């Protein structure tokens, strides 16, 4: 499921361009207000993929704040007085229920030093993935990485869209582990293919890559139109959970090229 939260500011607002960290804090603040035990579980444990990887997942993701009346100046983003949109998605019912409940009883939200009023909460239609493929744009960068070992540096190396084969292998393995963590089983059809828009990459100065800062750390991801091919089950999971890594930090949110309109729902 995906929620569209319509916010309103009574004055102009300035935030860092990279404000995913502030939104992560807001998510946990809202969950804690609704169910402290669930918020603690999600923050400290998460959902385990019962395999050799030992990975745990939060199984939610979200967008940056979005508005047509905004402008970017250096490292800051300015929102004019009025409406702002925020998207949050998860396939986990307790997460959506607790978040929506907290939003209903918390009409005033703080993001960094900015304050917003919650005006409306809508559920978005789940797109139809029956054809086994879908074209997307990236609302937030899709992150994929590999281990980097060497004499001088150890850690991870973020992949770029031009490294398509490695990128595809990384996000496929990640999505299959999310499926295992959510359902306890592997999908019946585990194949997933990814194709970046080569024309876009040739036009873009950074070849479809984008760098964002999260907690003072640079994170590089793909910010490029893409096509996914696979089972409808996996395509829906990528849309609901986020594609790639660091979803609970706001990365990996996708939007279909031909989106379905929102349906207002009482929550």
pLDDT tens digits, 74-132: 999 999 999 999 999 999 999 999 999 999 998 899 999 899 999 999 999 899 898 88
Residue-level pLDDT at 148 = 75
pLDDT band, very low/low/confident/very high, at 262 (cuts 50, 70, 90)? very low
Residues 138, 253 within the same domain: yes
| Same domain as 110, residue 145 | no
Average pLDDT over residues 167-176: 97
* Residue 116 C-alpha from the chain's centroid: 21
Which residues partner with 147 through β-bridges?
156
Is the pLDDT reported for residue 37 higher than 70?
Answer: yes
Q: Which residues pair with 72 in a beta bridge?
A: 77
**Confidence class of residue 152 from pLDDT cuts 50, 70 and 90?**
low
CATH of the domain at 17: 3.30.70.1890
Closest CA to 60 of 41, 38, 42, 35: 42
Over range 135-140, report the average pLDDT.
Answer: 97
In a domain, 56, yes or no: yes
pLDDT at res. 267: 36
> Among 145, 127, 168, 143, which residue's Cα sits nearest to residue 223?
143
Structure token digits, residue 35: 């169910």
* Domain extent for 229: 133-257
CA distance 152 to 173: 28
Q: Which two tokens stand for residue 102?
A: 């907290």
Number of domains in the chain: 2
Q: Once rounded to an integer, what is the mean pLDDT over residues 232-237?
A: 96
Residue 262 lies in a domain: no
| 160 contacts 84 by C-beta, under 8 angstroms | no
What percent of the chain lies above the pLDDT cut of 90? 83
Residue 253 has pLDDT above 50, yes or no: yes
| Res 231 pLDDT > 90 | yes
Give the predicted TM-score (pTM) of the model.
Answer: 0.92
- 101 and 199 share a domain? no
Query: How many residues does this entry show for the chain?
Result: 267
Of 124, 144, 166, the residue that ends a domain is 124
Position 259 pLDDT exceeds 90: no
Q: Has residue 264 been placed in a domain?
A: no
* Domain-ending residue, one of 94, 124, 154: 124
The C-alpha atoms of residue 241 and residue 90 are separated, in whole angstroms, by 5
Average pLDDT, the chain: 92
Within a domain: residue 215?
Answer: yes
- pLDDT of 254 over the 90 cut: yes
Instruction: Report if residue 59 sits inside a domain.
Output: yes
Task: Indicate whether 152 and 113 sit together in one domain.
Answer: no
Q: Could you say which of 65, 96, 124 is where a domain stops?
A: 124
């Amino acid at each position: 499921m995906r929620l569209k939260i319509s916010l309103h500011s009574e004055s102009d607002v300035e935030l860092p361009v990279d404000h995913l960290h502030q939104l992560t804090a807001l998510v946990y603040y809202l969950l804690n207000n609704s169910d402290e035990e669930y918020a603690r579980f999600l923050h400290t444990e998460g959902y385990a993929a019962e395999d050799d990887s030992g990975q745990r997942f939060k199984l939610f993701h979200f967008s940056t704040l979005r508005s047509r009346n905004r402008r970017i100046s250096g490292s800051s983003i300015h929102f004019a007085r009025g409406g702002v949109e925020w998207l949050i998605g998860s396939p986990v019912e307790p997460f959506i229920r607790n978040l929506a409940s907290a939003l209903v009883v918390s009409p005033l939200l703080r993001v960094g030093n900015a304050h917003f009023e919650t005006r409306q909460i809508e559920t978005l239609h789940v797109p139809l993935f029956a054809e086994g493929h879908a074209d997307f744009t990236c609302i937030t960068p899709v992150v994929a990485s590999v281990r980097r070992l060497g004499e001088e540096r150890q850690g991870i190396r973020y992949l770029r869209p031009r490294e398509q084969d490695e990128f595809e292998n990384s996000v496929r393995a990640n999505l299959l582990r999310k499926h295992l963590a959510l359902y306890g089983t592997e999908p019946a059809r585990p194949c997933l293919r990814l194709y970046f828009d080569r024309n876009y990459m040739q036009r873009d100065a950074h070849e479809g890559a984008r760098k964002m800062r999260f907690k003072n750390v640079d994170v590089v991801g793909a910010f490029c139109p893409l096509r996914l091919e696979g089972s409808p089950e996996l395509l829906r999971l990528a849309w609901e959970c986020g594609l790639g890594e660091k979803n609970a930090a706001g990365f990996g949110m996708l939007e279909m090229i031909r989106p379905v309109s929102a349906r207002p729902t009482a929550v």
